[in-house]
Structure 1
Amino acid sequence: MKLLLKNVRWKINGQMLAGDIRIAHGVIAVMDDRIEPEKGEAVLEFSGHFVYPGLINAHDHLEMNLYPRLGAPPHASYVDWSHSIYKPDQSPVKEIENVDKQDRLLWGGIKNLISGVTTVAHHNPWDRVFEKDTFPVNVVKKMTWAHSVAFGKNIESAFPKDTSTPFIIHAAEGTDAGAFQEISTLDAWGVLKSNTILVHAIALHDADLARIKERKASVVWCPASNLFMFGKTAAIKKLKDFAPIGLGTDSTMTGSPTLLHEMLVASQTGDATADEIYAMVTNGGASILKMPRPLLEPWQPASLFVAPALKENYVDNLFSVTPADVAAVILNGALRSVDTSISPEQNLCKNAFSIEGHVKRTNVPVADLKRRIEKKVGAKILEQNPLWRLIEV
């Protein structure tokens, strides 16, 4: 199906433009001041809205987003936290792990969809569900990973020989001596290189910063998760001079409900400007994941989202937008969700859900999914999760 986005504004190379955008065959086909509709084309009126490239969530554990926050912070490290929360025979772990894994992964996909994310780095094994046309977002496939220094297995053999393949690992996640040792350990193992993505990177000596810069490694910042677990986050003011940085939500076990929430937390730290944070979820995220830059230009992949212009400044506006505000998400040229204020037509997207009173239509069976999950877990546990409460059916 062709889509025509009418009366939108977007930014290319620092210049704001306005007009219409035609999407066809998975790409942005035409961008012009005025485009006349074609027969059979779905026309969406977006006066007063900005179009953004789909955001990149550089770190999530998709199957772990049914959990409420777990643990009794502050913790000394991820090792300390893991030992304190891993109780598979007790609630809520027992009930949530009983949910079919593909349902849990799908829920994680919906979490990203509602905040304008079109690409996510899933820090866990690849699953065939990601290849289905109905999965809400793109999941990075060309990557390898290990959990961490403490919990990883065969890390050196897992490291890719091809440096165009990202290698993702939790590292320096904590405040104790063990966390401060991890960067030098990774370097000694020969796995601190230009394709290494260090998730969290809180416990860094000055020598570690120098190592990261010399090896051209990169970092994913997860401030909400860090602040919850440790009461502090990575030294981004310093780190951004040493390494490329992406932004990630982590899962709801410790992190934000969505990437839009995470961007706000990042902004509130005062450690990065709005423009820097926006780069982390667009060009920066693409760079560290070895992906093409997300561009709003003709013949580029049509993975983008539309949000109301609540502020005049294009970047600043994103820090006022909530998941309820997101008007439409388009993935690989296909309409993944649309607010009914834009289009109430059921033939575009057959399923419905709402966020803070804003009704969305989608091709993802959100209501059926929530019913299956609630049957296995129970409302009492799920209502502790802010993401679960946010998405209503």
Structure 2
Amino acid sequence: MRPILAEVVTIGDEILYGQITDTNTQWMSTQLDKIGIKTVRKSSVGDQEDKILQILEEAESRADIILLTGGLGPTKDDITKKTLCKYFDDELIINEDALGFITEFFTKRGRPMTELNRQQAMVPKKCIYLANKTGTAPGMWFEKSMGSGKGKIFVSMPGVPHEMKYLMANEVIPRLKKYFETPIIYHKMIRTIGVGESFLAEKIEKWEDSLPAHIKLAYLPSFGQVRLRLTGMGENEETLKQEVQNEVDKVLPMIQSFVFGYDDDDLEVALGKLLKSKNKTISAAESCTGGFISHLFTKVPGSSAYFMGSVVSYANAVKINVLGVKPETIENHGAVSEETVMQMAEGVRALMKTDFAIATSGVAGPDGGTPEKPVGTLWIACAMEGRTIARKVQMSNQRETNINYGSVVAMNLLRKMLNGDYES
């Protein structure tokens, strides 16, 4: 069974100018993936007829399905319908169903319907009108025959996210499922931490080379983490899931120490499960991360079962007066040091009466560094009864990156200690 390919095109100058953020294409691709349709390209084009016509022609050469969003408003700058008429050698006509709905839409709201509103009921004659029950802009479905086989499908929808989502869920997805015979696409994600993408690739190279042709591997790196995404394509879902799981079972012994979860298990979710399974509690003392670690823990529902609290000890006075860091420690070693961060972790653990505690202190940047401690220098520590471990990390001069990456490193140190790994 051949794959069915889709291309998503967003229309509107406002997207290209950066005045609004395009969230539509990601959501649409996810929904297509669920029914076995692979998105091969996402494109954006401004409100220019020649550019829209060009991208439609290019998309048709690449994909079976072309999904368009945007440019369907009542004003002159919205030219999608007229451009589609030109592309399909068509003309605009009043669709009575659309007119009836729009009339009712304004009547219920006690608002007058203008001529511009009435013109929204005009759609290309060759399209199938898709009823948008959440707004006044229509959805439009075009079928372009391609000889004896299945033709190309073009669908135009509003750019307003909730209107697009309504049409996709209630009109577009059901029609696509009927029109195309699609394969099953199944994804399995292995979540790893504390290992670089290139090192990981070398470690599993032989396994990757031996993957079956219908199962592909992708590396998705982020702050201190790499997601390994296995994607299988086939005709039987249960068989495909088992085949992918067999490959997971093969690779796990090679990378087990770096794996913290699967699929949608974010690090904070996985750590929460681990803490609950071991009946342990955690607290945090944050300086350079400014409470971000606490935010990650507490955004997980039910985290009060294991996360007891934190101290954002940005000032040295708070480190000393609240956490009990010795003044001479800061005087002799500085706030960004192994000695200080260890005392921070031990201090907050005693204060909160938790089983574990993590602490961070560093130079987040973009300034404030010294030759001895340049921007990006970070010390983290994790304390438990009878043992405290500290680690130094050298990062970038980008403040947000340092806060994100530093939080991940600190939480990974906690993960290791929870698993009894005190050395690596």
TM-score, normalising length: structure 1: 0.30
TM-score normalised according to structure 2 size = 0.28
Hey, which of these two has a bigger chunk of helix by percent?
2
